[in-house]
Chain A
Amino acid sequence: MNTSTLNSTEFFSLLPIILISVGLLALMMVIAIKRSAKMSFQITLATLAISFISLFIIQDLLPQQATPLLLIDSYGVFFMGLILITAMLLLPLCYDYWKHHNQIQDEFYLLYLISILGALVLISSSHFAAFFLGLELLSLPIIIMVGYPFFSHYSASMESATKYLILSAAASATLMFGVALIYSQYGTLEFIPLTDAIASQSHSPHTLVKVGTIMLLIGIAFKLSLVPFHLWTPDVYQGAPLPATAFLATISKGAVFALLLRFYLSSEVFLTESLVWSIAAIAIASMLVGNLLALFQESIKRLLAYSSIAHFGYLLVALLAISQSIGADIAIEAVAYYLVAYLLSTLAAFAVLMRLPGLKESTDAPRLDSLSGLFWSHPVLAAILTLAMLSLAGIPLTVGFIGKFYIFAAAVEESLWGILLIAIIGSGIGLFYYMRVILVMTYSVSHQDTETYLYPGQSGRVVLAIVALLTVWLGIYPAPLIELIREMTLVVF
């Protein structure tokens, strides 16, 4: 494919990405003229909303290969929609949070939009160049968000940012080198022709390619914080301000996994045995290590960090179910549904945490014991956090259960009994700490002098309600979402 020129349809199909870029420029102009947090927030939200609406407009054009770099298809549109919805839900929470902390926050929205742009590019990339571009566009702003000027006496966020910067750069370098190795053998950077290149070679792929794919995997595993590339996660989660942590946990990881799935499905490079084995090993290690280390955490942010490690371990199980046979339907659906569930429940958890008081004072707040008595002082918040924890633990009535059900179904269909057993053990361990969070909230607080003051914020409250309702609704009546996922994702592969 040497189409260097874009025709108008192809160009039009890039509408969501273009709209975000336009919004970004507009925001920059506005900030240059008048610094108003409220206005910046509104522009950002409007940009996201318009971009989301444009997904419906381009619906009829799909699929479009817009330049060799980007492929806009319904799979991409589904995940773009998911990311945009998550971004729209997260943004008001950030606004409330920063407003309360009296920070100049305009830059945050700029960074936020750039990062979303990166996520959209990443999701629709069909070429290693776009892949790398999207990934860096996604992660570089996160580094600044993590270290975002917080409080004068608060140095933890700077430490986190430095840590994330160095490790992220190392991971990107590894990934680049892996890509270079693959290029050295196949002479192309596109995902799909890679398949043809392999098909033309009857013998097994060259060692360099194997090494290259493994290095690629390492880079991605770092972004998804899979064991053993997870070491940065708890520290960065803990040191970063809550909005940045939430962004990292939801949008960044969601977009990277969406790409991983696409790459995995479109390039059969990944079907080499060594790679499947290493993914299996990473999945097992993530499920066990993530859950085990989460057991002893006293800081909720660290607990959520380890729990997210475990969750991406479960997601890898679904990925493994793909590699076993041709019929990958259920595994793709499982990944999509599980990602929705994970994003919703994580968002719900962070939404509650962001409204909690007392974050200013300590470095590792909110601590687990700061939640005690929440059930009696703020029953609604406690109920929503309970819902989020139950959903992360995969208990019925919540969307997390259907997600776990899907993953298990995919694993059963491919007879991955050993890994399934590990997943069950992991879930069993997981119950312990999720339940502990819930139990702590029910303690009765003897001294009533603890501050039970909440940050005000109308928009945050709306988000909480939406997220809680969706968590329950999709847990009880998942059929519409399943239909949507089947319609959107399966046609592609």
Chain B
Amino acid sequence: MLSALVILLLIAGGLAWFYGNRNPNHARWIAVASLGCLLLFMIPLLSQALSSPLHYGAEISWLAYQQHEWIPRFGISFIMALDGLSLLLVLLTLLLGLIAVAASWNEITERVGFFYFNLLWSLAGVLGVFMALDLFLFFFFWEMMLIPMYFLIGIWGHEDRKYAAIKFFIFTQVSSLLMLVSMLALAYLHQQQTGQYSFSYFDLIGTGDQSEFGVWLMLGFFIAFVVKLPAFPFHTWLPDAHTQAPTGGSIILAGVLLKTGAYGLIRFLIPLFPDSLNYFAPYAMTIGVVGILYTAVVAFAQTDLKRLIAYTSISHMGFVLLGVYAWNELALQGAAMQMLTHGLSAAALFMIAGSIQHRIHTRNLNEMGGFWASVPRIGCITLFFAMASLGMPGLGNFVAEFLVLAGSFQVSVPMTLIATLGLVTAAVYSLIIIQKAFHGRQTDHHDMADFDHREMSAMAVMIIGLLWMGLYPQTFLDTLSPVFSQLNTLINLAGIKESGIEIASQSMERLL
């Protein structure tokens, strides 16, 4: 059933390309219909997630579970599963997919069919990433989402698109090759212990710590995920990619693609290398905190609106890194919430930036000013999302960041204190957008059109989402909390199994 989600999007993408060549509107409606159907299909699962999990697979409970043989030579099987975390991210992906379609509706006028083909295939890859529980399958989808995104940036992007597209691709691809090697090494370790290869998540949990090269293998995963996240020293591809991508591409990149990195950390890195929480957490948290502050300052200095928003994304993702490595219930829920809320708020900001660029053909903040008078709707909505991004109580981002800070406070007080400064800088860079673009001296862009119904309804959806997460986050926290307790159970189980083997082998030695 889960693979059907991915396959449906792939088919819809093919159809969009085929029919889009004749009539561009067909491609658009195919994209809307496929994403809308999937969304309607997935929403009922949310209520199930809140009440009781459904299926049982490999000792723990999943909302849905699917497993087939695939490449027996390497113990690779096709395992897909859905739990609360995956479900929320899948919903986010589908929702932002719809919003990306809405944002591209008028902006993309050339090669429309191929555009929606790439958009849908990229989303299909992302869905796969959020549901795959076999390391090989995960890698498969991880790569599958990149090539369409490369096309989205490289074909429909702005002036420097070629450079940005290739940089994006090489950064993510080389880092993921490191991850591939780490995966292979884990599978080989498993083969040495049990006699056969396995790439199954359940077989490999906890095995990373048993290798003498464990640190290096962990770094392979870490770099791949952190490049995607992105965190401080590996973030340089992101401002280019986001700035040059078309609006729809930016929305998918910021809203969804970055979340795959964070998801990978939670779902794979920590469970595979639970011990890394002891020896690596301080470094990872430092990277996170440095990223929060450094990129916030850099964001402030930007004159390119999309570039500014791109840097704020990196800053917000620093909180996720902090929360993941604090690894307690509060911090993890905060990190997951941050993924959701940032998905919505960043997507909205990119959509606003895109629509401004579409109207006045520049992204330069210095050439903007006084927009409030001519386009009050855009102004109000931008203000709302700027407030969300600076962490105004009552909106989702506040809840997320508060939870992360509350959680990490229990782990490291100094880190938390420094990270809190990020809230101050967030206020600075969020307000600078409002100030430069909407206040001040009016520039000669009087004839700007305000948001139309299509854009307003897309914005309304995201506003409602942020308000929901800000005012009643319990829905999401309830969906997430069984996930984290399950993860911990899995890790503990693996630990017990392992120490059991150790004890057994020790007693064997004694006997001999």
Tell me if B428 is interfacial: C-beta within 8 Å of chain A: no
- Collect the chain B residues with CB atoms within 8 Å of residue A435's CB: 150, 165-166, 169-170
Return the CB mask of A453-493 against B: 1 if under 8 Å, else 0: 00000000000000000000000011100110010000000
Residue A6 lies at the interface, judged by CB distance under 8 Å to chain B:
no
> Is A358 an interface position by the 8 A CB rule?
no
Task: Tell me if B73 and A396 are in contact (CB < 8 A).
Answer: no
Alpha-carbon gap, A211 to B150, bound state (A):
49
B384 interface hit (Cβ, 8 Å):
no
A420 on interface, CB distance cutoff 8 Å: yes
Residues of A within 8 A of B398 (CB): none
Is A409's beta carbon under 8 Å from chain B? yes
- Residue A50 is within 8 A (CB to CB) of chain B in the complex: no
Cα–Cα distance between A396 and B148 once the two chains are bound (Å): 13
- List CB contacts (< 8 Å) of A350-407 with chain B: 375-376, 379, 390, 395-397, 401, 405
* Secondary structure call for the B interface: helix
Does A35 sit at the interface, judged by CB under 8 A? no
- Asked if residues B185 and A428 are in contact (CB atoms below 8 Å), the reply is no
Instruction: Decide: A409 near B154, CB < 8 A? Known: A435-B166, A479-B71.
Output: no
A231 within 8 A of B: no
Q: Mark A424-453, 1 if CB is under 8 A from B, else 0.
A: 100110011001100100101000000000
Which chain A residues border B154 with CB–CB below 8 Å? 439, 442
Instruction: Find out whether the CB atom of B178 lies under 8 angstroms from the CB atom of A424.
Output: yes
Given A396-B144, A439-B162, also A412-B173 (CB < 8 A):
no
Q: CB distance B181 to A431 under 8 Å?
A: no
Asked whether, in the complex, the Cβ of A408 is within 8 Å of the Cβ of B180, the reply is yes
State the majority secondary structure of interface residues on A. helix
B147/A486 in contact, CB under 8 A: no
A376-B178 in contact (CB<8A):
no
Complex Cα spacing A435 to B188, Å: 31
The answer to whether B184 touches A409 (Cβ under 8 A) is yes
In the assembled complex, which residues on chain B have CB atoms less than 8 Å from the CB atom of A412? 181, 184-185, 188
Asked if B73 and A442 make an inter-chain contact with CB atoms under 8 angstroms apart, the answer reads no
Question: Which residue of A408, A444, A486 contacts B184 across the interface (Cβ within 8 Å)?
Answer: A408
B133-172 contact mask (Cβ, 8 Å, vs A): 1 or 0: 0000001100110110011001100000010011001100
Contacts of A397 in B (CB 8 A): 140, 143-144
The interface residues of chain A lying within 8 Å CB-to-CB of B280 are none
Question: Interface residue tally of chain A, by bracket?
Answer: 20 to 34
Interface: A413 (CB within 8 A): yes
A428's partner among B110, B144, B177 (CB-CB below 8 A) is B177
What residues of chain A lie closer than 8 Å to B71, measured between beta carbons? Answer: 478-479, 482
B180-222: contact bitstring with A at CB < 8 Å (1 yes, 0 no)? 1100110110000000000000000000000000000000000
The residue from A390, A413, A432 contacting B188, defined by CB atoms under 8 A apart: A413
Name the A residues within 8 Å of B170 (CB-CB).
428, 431-432, 435
Measured in the bound complex, the distance between the Cα atoms of B110 and A399 in whole Å is 32
Bound CA–CA A390/B144 (angstroms): 11
- Complex Cα distance, B146 from A405, in Å, reads 18
How far apart are the CA atoms of A409 and B147 in the complex, in Å?
Answer: 24
Chain A: CB-nearest residue to B177: A424
B174 at the interface (CB under 8 A from A): yes
Q: How far is the CA of A341 from the CA of B293 in the complex (A)?
A: 47
Bound together, the chains give a CA A452 to CA B128 distance in angstroms of: 38
Which residues of the partner chain B approach A379 to less than 8 Å between Cβ atoms? 114
Residues of A within 8 A of B169 (CB): 431, 435
Chain B residues with Cβ below 8 Å from A408 are: 180-181, 184
B151 surroundings in chain A (CB, below 8 A):
442
The answer, yes or no, to whether B72 is at the interface (CB within 8 Å) is yes
Closest chain A residue, CB of each to CB of B174: A428
In the complex formed, the residue of A with least CB distance to B155 is A442
Docked CA distance A402–B166 (Å): 23
Is the beta-carbon distance between B165 and A431 smaller than 8 angstroms? no
Interface check B111, CB cutoff 8 A: yes
| A379, B18: Cα distance in complex, Å | 11
For A439, list chain B residues within 8 Å (CB): 154, 162, 165-166
Q: Which residues of B405-435 are within 8 A (CB) of A? A: none
Chain B residues in 8 Å Cβ range of A420 = 181
CB distance from B7 to the nearest CB of A (A): 12
Closest-by-CB residue of A relative to B17 is A379
Q: Which residues of A contact B162 (CB under 8 A)?
A: 439
Contact B155 A395 (CB under 8 A): no
For B72, the closest partner residue in chain A by CB is A479
Min Cβ gap B11→A in Å is 15
B residues contacting A by CB (< 8 A) are: 69-74, 110-111, 114, 139-140, 143-144, 146-147, 150-151, 154-155, 162, 165-166, 169-170, 173-174, 177-178, 180-181, 184-185, 187-188
What are 19 A-B contacts with C-beta separation under 8 Å? A395-B143, A396-B139, A397-B143, A397-B144, A405-B184, A408-B181, A409-B184, A409-B187, A409-B188, A420-B181, A424-B174, A424-B177, A428-B177, A431-B173, A439-B162, A477-B70, A482-B71, A482-B73, A483-B73
Residues of A whose CB lies within 8 Å of any CB of B are 333, 375-376, 379, 390, 395-397, 401, 405, 408-409, 412-413, 420, 424, 427-428, 431-432, 435-436, 439, 442, 444, 477-479, 482-483, 486
New contact pairs (10) apart from A432-B170, A436-B166, A479-B72, CB-CB < 8 Å: A375-B114, A376-B111, A396-B143, A401-B143, A405-B180, A409-B74, A427-B177, A439-B166, A479-B73, A486-B73
Closest 5 A/B residue pairs (Cβ): A428-B174, A396-B143, A412-B184, A482-B73, A442-B155
